[in-house]
Amino acid sequence: MASVFLKYLQISTPETALIRVEEDFIREHPELCVELGTSRVPVKPGWQFGSQYPGDATQLRVYDFVPDTLLHKVKNLADFLGVLVFDKWTANADGRQAVFFRARVREWLPADPEAHRLAMGFVAVMIDHGFAFDGPHWNFPESPVQGLYLRKLV
């Protein structure tokens, strides 16, 4: 639901899909896991929520952050304001996460009037909305820190 709302609000977020992960696939790919800090949790077979990688994984590098000195080169920083309001509105109990990559700006931000004159730039995409509506609790607690992005300079 969160991804659908973000798309409607024109906040950069990846395409999403439900995918079925079969036991055979997991057996053939033992490296498949969820990394939580220093621990690795094996993926369970069944339906999973997936976010599309923003390009060809062999050619496009995706970063968890860009250094503060490069933040001014992110062409859609205003999306962080929109997603903060969204996270408060949906009681996102998780910290805001985003990924960054260099891309043709006009392909990722077609509504931006500057995008047509810029060839390449950093783009931020908002990911991980799994704890919207307070995750499994489905309520709306008030907390001043919920949904905040950890980099205050943003």
- Residue boundaries of the structural domains of the chain: 2-137
Phi and psi, residue 41, nearest 5°: -110, 125
| Each residue's pLDDT tens digit, 92-119 | 888 888 999 999 888 888 777 776 666 7
Average pLDDT over residues 51-64: 91
Is pTM beyond 0.85 here?
no
Q: Where are the alpha helices (DSSP H) in 19-151?
A: 23-28, 78-89, 105-108
